[in-house]
Structure 1
């Protein structure tokens, strides 16, 4: 008597690819909608919450981004996940009134907040506001002199697709700079930061924005984001050269820079 194993017939179905949404695994096709829901919920309080969560330090980080990028006057920039325009307006100021920034964000309500600010600050004629997906940008090849992305790339479903798309739309000689929450090299400090993040930030979100769940996701997404060296590796794999990073506030955040050469 023999024991034979008969494989099940192949129906052609394949397991659905998943990705992380905070600490949850979700189908890739669902993540963009979930992220859009988070930022739609918090759009009107987003800048206030940034100040509260970071004690205003996010402004220093964004100034450091502008300092390192040092965009030339008259340049055309792309600001991805630019939402309320915080980075875009800094870059326009650095370009001394002669440049232009196209702000692209997945969430329309965030862009509406940014447009209001642009009109109030007299910058509406030097900004465009485009609803778009960072993994499939609605722009032609070789369009922009610079691209920036502050606190957005960790929300993208596939970072590699975003990096490739930005590389495509940059002009030869263009530069991409990422500002993102990162990893503190010293384990004890990282533990203290995690205690603050998980125990305080969602409660702030509830008190200020009326939404603890969205800020719980944002805290979880920070912990799921790869470390500084892994981001460097992925940028190089996408074709960027002269890739470097700088830690900010001990590594709570990091700036990554790469060039299309």
Structure 2
């Protein structure tokens, strides 16, 4: 399952799934994918992962252990629908202020609607912007989180450096992403499920299976756990480590700005 994976040297900026595209072309293609899936994004996450993504996200926020002091500021990148942001606010006892940043306006619209229904708008700010060029000053946040979004960023190295820039000294970086499963027999079943069933489910639920073919292929292109940890270190983070979930189907990487 690792044959297609990218190394720390890069390559994701021209990889749209297994297809190679021109430099600068990927972002528009990715934006189109998420415009098409925004309204069914959370439902499809449940169907694709059998609900496991909820446990992984809970684990992410538990490891972050948000401070319950007023003024604790978190930047949640590629967090349009609010899944991580809502959990952080709850875990902080309602004291955390979370900026939800996403490049895709359709995803942000879903997040705003959910926040309004949940009475959380007072804790949240929604910003449409690019992870590669964050519209914030240096040392602005106590934590930076990103869940299942960084593999869709064309220039991951630049996004990681931006994450380091906007964090305060002592700030925490956490990234939850699909990763490299290394379990005999289970990997074959996972491969079959991913490439044959997920696009079919996407077609039934959303009427369009193509975005899910891209999403599955993008998972296979993303660097494995060690290579991604190397990229995080190269961006200036210290004490970089990770935790595997479900045998490595997903991995949660952590780093600190010292």
TM-score by length of 1: 0.92
The answer for the alignment partner of 1:215 in structure 2 is 212
The answer for the alignment partner of 1:229 in structure 2 is 226
Instruction: Give 3-state SS (helix, strand or coil) of 2:195's partner.
Output: helix
Instruction: Give 3-state SS (helix, strand or coil) of 1:134's partner.
Output: coil
Deviations 1:142-164 (A, max 9, x none): 00000100000100101110100
Instruction: Give 3-state SS (helix, strand or coil) of 2:67's partner.
Output: coil
The answer for the alignment partner of 1:180 in structure 2 is 177
Given candidates 146, 149, 154, the residue that maps to 2:151 is 154
| Aligned structure 1 segments of 4 or more residues deviating by more than 3 angstroms | none
Given candidates 240, 246, 254, the residue that maps to 2:237 is 240
Q: Structure 1 residues 98 and 18, CA, compared in 2 at 3 Å: closer, same or farther?
A: closer
Measured on the aligned residues, the alpha-carbon RMSD in Å equals 1.1
The answer for the alignment partner of 1:50 in structure 2 is 45
Match runs of 1:1-261 below 5 Å: 19-73=14-68, 74=70, 75-261=72-258
Higher-RCO chain (CA-CA 8 Å, sequence separation at least 6) = 2
Partners in 1 of 2:178 and 2:233 — Cα distance? 20
Instruction: Give 3-state SS (helix, strand or coil) of 1:142's partner.
Output: coil
The answer for the alignment partner of 1:10 in structure 2 is none
Deviations 1:64-93 (A, max 9, x none): 001111011231000000010000000000
Partners in 1 of 2:206 and 2:75 — Cα distance? 28
TM-score by length of 2: 0.93
Deviations 1:135-190 (A, max 9, x none): 11111110000010000010010111010000000011100100000011224322
Larger gyration radius, structure 1 or structure 2: 1
Does the 8 Å CA contact 2:79/2:102 hold for their aligned counterparts? yes
Does the 8 Å CA contact 1:183/1:190 hold for their aligned counterparts? no
Does the 8 Å CA contact 1:144/1:171 hold for their aligned counterparts? yes
Structure 2: runs of 5+ lacking an equivalent? 1-11
Partners in 1 of 2:13 and 2:45 — Cα distance? 29
Does the 8 Å CA contact 2:140/2:166 hold for their aligned counterparts? yes
Does the 8 Å CA contact 2:13/2:153 hold for their aligned counterparts? no
